Chains A and B, each alone.
Chain A
Amino acid sequence: MTFRAKLFWVFTLALLLSVGLVAAGVTVATRRAFDDLNREHSDALVAQFQREFDRRGEEVVDRVKAIASEEATIHMAVDLSLPKGDASVYVYDARGVSQSHQLDFLDFVNSDGTIISSAEWPAHFNSKMNWVIQPEDWASTGSFLTKMDTQDGPTLGLMAVTQVPVADKAIYIVGGERLDKGFLSSLVLPPGMRALLYLNLDQGFQANDLVSAGTPENEPERFTSLIEKEQASPQPRTEKIQWTFDPASAEEIHALPLVGRQKELLGVLLVGNSLRNVVLLERRIRYLALIVAGIGLLLGALLSWWAAARVTRPVTKLVTAAQEVAEGNWSAHVDVRGRDEVGRLARSFNQMTHQLIEQRERLIQAERVAAWREVARRLAHELKNPLFPLQTTVENMQRAKDKNPELFDEVFRESTRILLTEIENLKSIVGRFSDFSKMPQPEFAAVNVNDVVRDVVKLFEAQLGAVGRPPITPELHLDEELPAIQADATMLHRAMENLVLNAMDAMPAGGVLMLRTAHKDGTVLVEVSDTGGGLTPEESERIFTPYYTTKQHGTGLGLAIVQAVVSDHGGRISVESESGVGTSFHIELPSHPPRRPQKFPMLLKQEEEA
């Protein structure tokens, strides 16, 4: 991943994180605000329902009191207070009275708790309603909830009781409204709210006991948990029910326990408040926030990309320049302006490359001087040996002519022979230097390195086993799968000759000359090893320096030529030596030679001048 990409992702993630945090904060705050608003709304509605419930209870009390004050009721009370009072004549009176007073329940109960007449269950006459005659001040009790028996089974009633005393007896008027579908329908509830009633008539949750004002509840079992909690511990509580996978179907259910006079749980009023509008509003806000966040992120990404590009452009230039430097182009220059860190870095880079070039050129100059010195030294050394016999011969000739003229001819012949020999020797020395200076450019063609190795070994076979010389045993370990490489066979042959000659010189007492070839990843490996005396570490470091030699009569150009040939083929040569064990030269040759390396301008200039 590029620096620009990293920078882009860092900017983008930072932006995403910021936007996400802000969005989350806004969402949480919005939701809390909506929850608070919804709770206040629900509380207000529940309170409104409670007031409505209380008002209905007061109405029931008023109606029952009205019945008690009617003349017919008083007449009934008086009649039944008489010793021969006949209750049977009133058995069907309750229904008519209840209808005229719009009551669902109406029971006339005698002073012994016997039902005289029942509106909700006419056949229930003569049965006992003992709770009515329990000592209680019905005048102050007001309305209350109780379980009422009807022909269709028990149900809940919002009831009131009034006593009509006559002498030492009394009859009781028990009237009320049924808490059922009709009662729920008559409640005035705002849009989005609904009321359900659970009649706690059986143990556990019974779906049939759930009454709704409209159509029967489709999934009554969803209330099971709430109802069971109320049955376990009656108290107002709220739960949210999501009816479908759509969160907009959620409904907040407020459960209000309906208890009787003995605080027993008789029913649970379930006030449902649809959260559809709130959820839709929240969803709209969320969508809007997402769109804004998305646009913000998109813009942020674009800005991040632009900023990353702007920030990394000088760095990219620096990277490109550094790569050029790595490839050898030390003249690479970074054109970056600015006073910031990157600008200073670019300027430092330019300064550094400039200094590197100068140092390199100085180094090369120094090396060149050192090389010329070495050349001069070697030349002086090489030339001094033949010059001394020349000088001596010429002095002998002068002395012979001055002091022994009779021997002059013989001295002259002998001296001229020596002079010619030494002059020939001088020409040979000059020729070797000339050959080294005239190293040709390689001409590449497909070459099998094994063939080159075999030819060289064949060339030296006679010398290796020459009579009077300690034998040197050649060992060849050639990789027959060796691929052909692009190389100059003649130059390779010359390099191998030098290595073999070097090895032979290193083994004056004989030994083993081992040549090994191998290949790896398209690169051909050649190893030339001897079992000679080895090199010191210092020798190993300088052994490829031109005109450096460890031999008495060496020119110091053999291994320099080897290194030059290997280098011209884009390869690499290294030496591995251990004193007393031997020396190994490792050559790596690529399958294809590289481009011709770029020369430094100063060197080119000097070469041109040369």
Chain B
Amino acid sequence: MSRRLAANSLLLALALVLAVLPAKTARRPGYGGTLRIEIGAVIHSLDLSVAAVSPEEAAAKLEIDSLINDRSGAPAAQPAAGPFRISAWEPGKRLTLAANGDFPKGRPFVDAIDFTMGKSAKDRLLDLELDKTDFIRIPADQARSAAESGVRVNTSQPDELLAILFATGGSNAPSSPVRQAIAQALDRGAIVNFVLQKTGEPAGGLLPQWSSGTAFLFSASSAPAGAVQQVKEIRAQNQPSIRLLLGYDSGDSVEQRVAERIVVDAREAGIAMTAGPIQGTSALGAATVPPGFDARIIRWRMPSPRPDAALANFLAAFPGLAQAAADACGPANSAERIYRCERAIVDTREIIPLAFLPQVYGLSARMRDWQAPGPGETWPLADVWLDGAPQ
């Protein structure tokens, strides 16, 4: 009986070993294959010195540049050849990169990367579901529905700030009480839960909790009653009618939906706010509010996981805010100083943080070893290999 049991156990163990062995060998990285990527941007020039026409194109150009150039050396030095080189280039339509076998840090696993440009988010998702592409970017508000529909979704840490930036200095710029009323009226929870479909987290400060550790000190809750009261006081004083135009990037559906929701909150507080798209290159200058608008939606992506570096970058990107909070934003980089600086900026109400967004990617089933890049990092496509490629 025991011998029989031992024999059965041995057979079972052998069967398990035989079953596991092929799987283990399949998970080993293989070289070869073409990684298909679809992007929304339409790139006409890969030269970084040539200005992009949209934030999406600017970001895509940086990603592609990181694949064909190695800028890890001295900043002033000529960039070295990257892990890929251009093999085919149809401006505005298609770009094919071939693996650079002479890349000092090792040849990429995939033989080639094929970029198809000008694909809308909806088309990108559809192509991914139909296995016509391997890698796409997914708008944050569509991440949940994509995951529920079976798409393999990869999400980074929330590293991108979504906020309202107000125009300042002009005679018609919204006053501080008006900005305060809007800040109170905002329902960040509704924005994150409904507009962003729970992808991201409400933001009260400039840096996320995982980075600064002090984000919880900034309130992200709404106070609609306080906003209504504030608006009544403003009207009673000198402004019987408050009308504001909130701008958003005309090519960014997330910004549009967030802006429309802000309009709802503002109107319920008694502020006649409308939302309108910012056309063309005006959307690029995120640090300023274009003429004709009273405020705009901005995105600011952290360049570094380190709060001091990220805040420094923020101050550099928004010099107006840096000037407004100059007293609190000194060179010291202690957690307290960072908090005080952040608090000073937020308290000006010239910027109202809304949410922290992650970067959301859609991956095909054969894409392996993808690691979502952290703040300041580019797509690590040289490390990606395709399932089914030759060993």
Given A125-B190, A126-B187, A127-B268, is A151 in contact with B260 using a C-beta cutoff of 8 Å? yes
> What residues of B have a CB within 8 angstroms of the CB of A10 in the complex?
none
Q: Kindly specify which of A116-124, A270-278, A441-449 makes contact with the partner chain.
A: A116-124
CB 8 Å contact bits of A529-566 with B (1 = contact, 0 = none): 00000000000000000000000000000000000000
Docked-complex contact A123 and B197, CB < 8 angstroms: no
Chain A contacts of B144 at CB under 8 A? 89
Q: Contact between A89 and B260 (Cβ–Cβ < 8 Å)?
A: no
User: Per-residue CB proximity of B189-218 to A under 8 Å, as 1/0?
Assistant: 010011101100000000000000000000
B212-266 contacts to A, CB under 8 A, are 257, 260-261, 263-264
Which of A88, A121, A122, A126 makes the CB contact (< 8 A) with B197?
A88
Asked if B263 and A123 sit within 8 Å, CB to CB, the answer is: yes
CA distance A151 to B144 in the complex (A): 26
Nearest Cβ in chain A — how far from B259, in angstroms? 8
Residue of B nearest to A149 (CB): B267
Asked whether A91 is an interface residue with its Cβ less than 8 Å from the other chain, the reply is: yes
Contact assessment for A126 and B194 in the assembled complex, using a CB-CB cutoff below 8 Å: yes
Partner pick for B264 among A87, A88, A91, A124, CB 8 A cutoff: A124
One of A88, A126, A151 near B263 (C-beta < 8 A): A151
**A69 CB, min distance to chain B CBs, angstroms:** 25
- By the criterion CB–CB under 8 Å, are A88 and B268 in contact? no
CB-based contact A127/B264 at 8 Å: yes
Among residues 126 to 155 in chain A, which have CB atoms less than 8 Å away from a CB atom of chain B?
126-127, 151
Decide: A123 and B198 in contact? CB cutoff 8 A: no
| Bound CA–CA A300/B124 (angstroms) | 94
CA distance A127 to B144 in the complex (A): 22
Residues of A within 8 A of B194 (CB): 87-88, 91, 125-126
Q: For the side of the interface on B, what is the size category?
A: 10 to 19
Point out the residue from B197, B261, B268 that lies within 8 Å of A89, measured CB to CB. Answer: B197
Number of A positions contacting B (CB below 8 A):
12
CB-defined interface of B178-194 with A at 8 Å, one 1/0 digit per residue? 00000000010010011
Chain A residue numbers with a CB within 8 Å of B198 are: 88
Neighbouring B residues of A151 by C-beta, 8 Å: 260, 263, 275
User: Which chain B residue has the least Cβ–Cβ distance from A117?
Assistant: B194
The minimal Cβ–Cβ distance linking A334 to chain B, given in whole angstroms, is 98
Taking the closest CB of chain A, its distance from the CB of B347, in whole angstroms, is 27
CB distance from B378 to the nearest CB of A (A): 32
> Which residues from chain B contact A124 at a C-beta distance below 8 Å?
264
- Taking CB atoms, residues of chain B closer than 8 Å to A122 are 257, 260
What A residues does B190 contact at CB under 8 A? 125-126
Contact B193 A121 (CB under 8 A): no
Q: CA–CA, A91 to B187, complex, Å?
A: 15
B214 CB → nearest A CB, Å = 28
Chain B residue nearest to A125 (CB atoms) is B194
Q: Which residues on A sit within 8 Å (CB–CB) of B145?
A: 89
Q: Which of B122-167 contact A (CB under 8 A)?
A: 144-145, 148
Cα distance A124–B194 in the bound complex, in angstroms: 10
Instruction: Give Cα distance in the complex from A151 to B275, angstroms.
Output: 9
Task: Give, as a whole number of angstroms, the nearest-CB distance from B206 to chain A.
Answer: 25
How long is the Cα–Cα vector from A88 to B141 in the complex, in angstroms? Answer: 11
The smallest beta-carbon distance between A532 and chain B, in angstroms, is: 115
Q: Is the CB of B268 within 8 A of A123?
A: no
Counting chain A CB atoms within 10 Å of each CB, the highest count among B144, B187, B193 belongs to B193
Give Cα A87 to B193, complex, Å. Answer: 9
User: Across the interface, which residues of A come within 8 angstroms of B195, CB to CB?
Assistant: 91, 123
Query: Which B residues are CB-close (under 8 A) to A87?
Result: 194
Contact partners of B264 in chain A: CB under 8 A: 121, 123-124, 127
Q: Which residue of B lies closest to A90 (CB)?
A: B194
Name the distance in Å between B201's Cβ and chain A's nearest Cβ: 14
- Tell me if B261 and A123 are in contact (CB < 8 A): yes
A91 to B198, CA, bound (A): 12
Measured in the bound complex, the distance between the Cα atoms of B143 and A89 in whole Å is 12
Q: How many whole Å from B248's CB to the nearest CB in chain A? A: 12
**Which B residues touch A89, using CB under 8 A?**
144-145, 148, 197
Give chain A's interface residues, CB within 8 Å of chain B.
87-89, 91, 121-127, 151
Subset of 15 A-B contacts with CB under 8 Å: A88-B194, A88-B197, A89-B145, A89-B148, A91-B197, A121-B260, A122-B257, A122-B260, A123-B195, A123-B263, A123-B264, A125-B190, A125-B194, A126-B194, A151-B260
Q: Closest 9 A-B residue pairs measured CB to CB?
A: A123-B260, A123-B261, A91-B194, A126-B190, A88-B193, A88-B194, A123-B264, A125-B194, A124-B264
On B, residues with C-beta under 8 Å from A are: 144-145, 148, 187, 190, 193-195, 197-198, 257, 260-261, 263-264, 268, 275
Contacts A121-B264, A122-B257, A151-B275 known; 18 new A-B pairs at CB < 8 A: A88-B193, A88-B198, A89-B145, A91-B194, A91-B195, A122-B260, A123-B195, A123-B257, A123-B261, A123-B264, A124-B264, A125-B190, A125-B261, A126-B187, A126-B190, A127-B264, A127-B268, A151-B263
